[in-house]
């Protein structure tokens, strides 16, 4: 029963482990079920041959025992008729057929046990095959779930030494520095513009003071200050 042993090995295997080693688990599972189906078909043929052999052994044992019984009756008849030679010959044949019946009987017993075991094994294999076909999607789902869990565990292990809070803090510090630099640049631009206007104002005031001083020294009447309106005398 080599084929039964091979199929038993397949069914005893860890299907998830087989799927893990496959590039395409779905195709692998389909191939496994096809192999099981083909193997079971061959196993049925072998079991049928074993049953035929069992029945032939049983028939041979029964036929030999029947012949032994027939020659025993002939030996009795020969004794009754006073023919000792015929009685001896009949007993000799009776013993031969009885021995054959015993050998066939022992072979039939062993064959019967082997057939019963093969039939039970075949039945178990058929049930496992039917279960594999029914649970095909469930097996694939279990496999995909196991692979996803492995991936999550691998990612978690890879990032276990990584502290996202420290990384965020570092990025925040960098952004704050960039913001400070931008504010400083804007402030410098603003100060330059204000300074330029302030200088213009200072130069204008200086020019006014210089003009007044020149008029005073030359004795010319001073011009009224822009801030103070000139007074007019009456009459």
226 part of a folded domain: no
Per-residue pLDDT tens digits for 134-182: 877 777 787 778 777 777 877 777 666 555 566 677 778 888 888 787 7
CB 137 within 8 A of CB 29: no
Sign for the pseudo-dihedral over CA of 78, 82, 84, 85: negative
Please, which pLDDT band fits residue 106 given cuts at 50, 70 and 90? very high
Query: Are 118 and 139 members of one domain?
Result: yes
Q: How far is CA 174 from the centre of its chain?
A: 42
44 part of a folded domain: yes
Helix (H, G, I), strand (E, B) or coil at 228: coil
Query: Are 43 and 132 members of one domain?
Result: yes
Query: Are 78 and 116 members of one domain?
Result: yes
pLDDT mean over 176-203: 69
Query: Which residue range(s) make up the domain with 144?
Result: 2-162
pLDDT, residue 187, reads 67
Per-residue pLDDT tens digits for 30-48: 888 888 888 889 989 999 9
227 part of a folded domain: no
**How many domains are contained in the chain?**
2
Cα 215 from Cα 230, distance rounded (Å): 17
Cα 58 from Cα 51, distance rounded (Å): 10
Q: For residues 132 and 66, which has the higher predicted lDDT (pLDDT)? A: 66
**0.85 exceeded by the pTM?**
no
Query: Are 205 and 117 members of one domain?
Result: no
Cα 126 from Cα 44, distance rounded (Å): 10
193 part of a folded domain: yes
Query: Are 153 and 172 members of one domain?
Result: no
Query: Are 109 and 168 members of one domain?
Result: no
Query: Are 105 and 146 members of one domain?
Result: yes
């Amino acid at each position: 029963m080599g084929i039964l042993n091979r199929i038993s090995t397949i069914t005893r295997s860890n299907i998830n482990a087989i799927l893990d080693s496959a590039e395409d688990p779905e195709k692998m599972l389909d191939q496994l079920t096809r192999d099981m189906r083909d193997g079971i078909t061959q196993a049925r043929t072998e079991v049928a041959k074993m049953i035929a052999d069992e029945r032939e052994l049983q028939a041979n044992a029964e036929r030999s025992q029947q012949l032994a019984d027939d020659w025993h009756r002939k030996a009795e008849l020969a004794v009754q008729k006073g023919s000792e030679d015929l009685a001896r010959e009949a007993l000799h044949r009776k013993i031969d057929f009885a021995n054959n019946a015993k050998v066939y009987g022992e072979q039939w017993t062993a064959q019967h046990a082997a057939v019963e075991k093969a039939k039970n094994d075949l039945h178990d294999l058929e049930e496992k095959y039917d279960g594999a076909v029914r649970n095909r999607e469930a097996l694939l789902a279990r496999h995909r779930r196991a692979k996803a869990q492995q991936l999550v565990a691998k990612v978690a292990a890879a990032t276990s030494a990584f502290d996202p809070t420290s990384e965020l803090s570092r990025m925040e510090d960098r952004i704050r520095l960039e913001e400070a630099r931008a504010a400083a640049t804007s402030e410098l631009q603003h100060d330059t513009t204000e300074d330029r206007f302030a200088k213009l104002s200072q130069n204008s005031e200086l020019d006014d003071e210089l003009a007044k001083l020149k008029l005073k020294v030359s004795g010319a009447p001073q011009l009224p200050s822009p801030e103070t309106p000139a007074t007019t005398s009456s009459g």
